């Protein structure tokens, strides 16, 4: 449709440049323009508006990135990661996020509501997935370093309030420079961390952040925030109701399985890690396009004859295509 708009704009510009055109001729041009636009719309509807050789502008839309199936369970490792809530909660929510993502911040009040609503039945695990490396890597390393001192819960809100919201991001790769990361070191001190150890741990945390990112990529995560609720995927800063639908289902399953003998402390290990998918399944190959089928491309040629009216005609009729005889 964008192409259609540009064509129409070009035609209207052409008509507007002919100041000496008589009213009668102008009306004819408007009628021709209206018919031409109607023809283009019909061809676009039939799938022929994106014609042209492969690699040309307007070629077929690229397929979307494969995403996790929300109905399936994925084995997302949580070993050694910071979390809030009881260690043996029936429902584990893994939050894939970073500290430069506005939607990751936007969903924080929603997670607070979930903690209040479900209490000891839910725990939230924090797993880093950096999509803005220039700004988000240093805060992610800081979160990892604070966890090594048992101070993640004190550091986490400061990273949002005094780094993200205040836009006080340290320089890229500050943890490798002599100047260090002054903004992060300031809030580390406020959170009660040993700043010397904090600076050292930030350097050592690079491998940990890379590991967390790789594990999330393996199960199909491509952006943030991304959630896995007992292994089931939920994308984006969704409202509480969207979380609750999955949580309620998983809570019932967990309660039934625990009643049947699964240890509460082993529930995530048994039903998510051992039985869940270890990586994103490969998508089924797409069927080849059948010439003449709905949606098949119909090459077009656009010609402007001396009279100035636009004409759009198929470059070559495709046997069996809509509209061919």
All structural domains of the chain with their residue ranges: 2-50+290-314, 83-274
- What are the tokens at 179? 């100047």
Of residues 240, 62, 222, the one with CA closest to residue 130: 222
Angle separating helix axes 133-148 and 206-218, nearest 10 degrees: 110
Q: Is the pLDDT of residue 300 over 80?
A: no
| Neighbour tally for 147: CB within 10 Å | 21
Confidence of residue 57 (pLDDT cuts 50, 70, 90): very low
pLDDT (0 to 100) of residue 26: 46
The terminus-to-terminus CA distance of the chain in angstroms comes to 27
pLDDT band for 12, please (50, 70, 90 cuts).
very low
Residue 21 confidence class, pLDDT cut points 50, 70, 90: very low
33 to 85, 228, 303: CA distances (angstroms):
66, 53, 13
Q: Which whole-number Å values give the CA distances from 187 to 124, 177, 182, 240, in the listed order?
A: 23, 18, 9, 30
Structure tokens at 74: 């994925």
pLDDT at 41: 60
276 half-sphere exposure, CB direction, 13 A CA radius: 28
Residue 198 exposure: Cα atoms within 13 Å on the Cβ side: 27
pLDDT number for residue 45: 56
Tell me the percentage of the chain whose pLDDT exceeds 70.
68
Mean pLDDT over 23-47 rounds to 54
Structure tokens at 195: 């700043």
Query: Is the pLDDT reported for residue 292 higher than 80?
Result: no
83-274 CATH choice from 1.20.1050.140, 3.40.190.10, 3.40.640.10, 3.40.30.10: 3.40.30.10
pTM listed for this prediction = 0.71
Please name which of 66, 115, 73 lies closest in space to residue 283, comparing C-alpha atoms.
Answer: 66
Mode of pairing for the β-strands spanning 83-84 and 232-235 = unpaired
* Strand, helix or coil for residue 300: strand
């Amino acid at each position: 449709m964008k192409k259609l708009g540009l064509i129409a704009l070009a035609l209207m510009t052409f008509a507007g440049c002919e100041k000496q055109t008589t009213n009668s001729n102008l009306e004819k041009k408007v009628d021709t323009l209206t018919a031409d636009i109607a023809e283009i719309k019909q061809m676009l509807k039939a799938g022929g508006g994106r014609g042209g050789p492969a690699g040309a502008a307007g070629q077929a839309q690229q397929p979307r990135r494969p995403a996790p199936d929300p109905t399936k369970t994925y084995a997302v490792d949580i070993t050694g990661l910071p979390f809030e809530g009881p260690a043996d909660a029936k429902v584990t929510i893994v939050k894939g996020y970073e500290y430069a993502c506005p939607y990751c911040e936007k969903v924080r009040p929603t997670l607070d509501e979930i903690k209040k609503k479900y209490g000891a039945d839910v725990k939230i695990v924090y797993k880093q997935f950096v999509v803005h490396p220039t700004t988000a890597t240093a805060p992610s390393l800081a979160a990892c370093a604070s966890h090594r001192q048992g101070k993640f819960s004190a550091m986490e809100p400061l990273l949002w309030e005094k780094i993200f919201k205040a836009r006080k991001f340290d320089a890229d790769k500050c943890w490798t420079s002599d100047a260090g990361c002054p903004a992060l070191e300031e809030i580390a001190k406020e959170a009660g961390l040993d700043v010397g150890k904090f600076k050292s741990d930030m350097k050592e945390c690079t491998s940990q952040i890379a590991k967390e990112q790789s594990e999330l990529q393996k199960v199909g995560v491509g952006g943030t925030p991304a959630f896995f609720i007992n292994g089931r995927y939920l994308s984006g800063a969704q409202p509480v109701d969207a979380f609750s639908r999955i949580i309620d289902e998983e809570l019932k399953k967990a309660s039934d399985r625990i009643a049947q003998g699964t240890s509460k402390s082993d529930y995530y290990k048994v039903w998510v890690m051992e039985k869940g998918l270890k990586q994103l399944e490969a998508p089924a190959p797409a069927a080849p396009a059948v010439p003449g089928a709905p949606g098949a491309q119909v090459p077009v040629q656009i010609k402007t004859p001396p009279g100035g009216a636009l004409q759009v005609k198929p470059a070559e009729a495709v046997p069996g295509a809509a509209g061919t005889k």
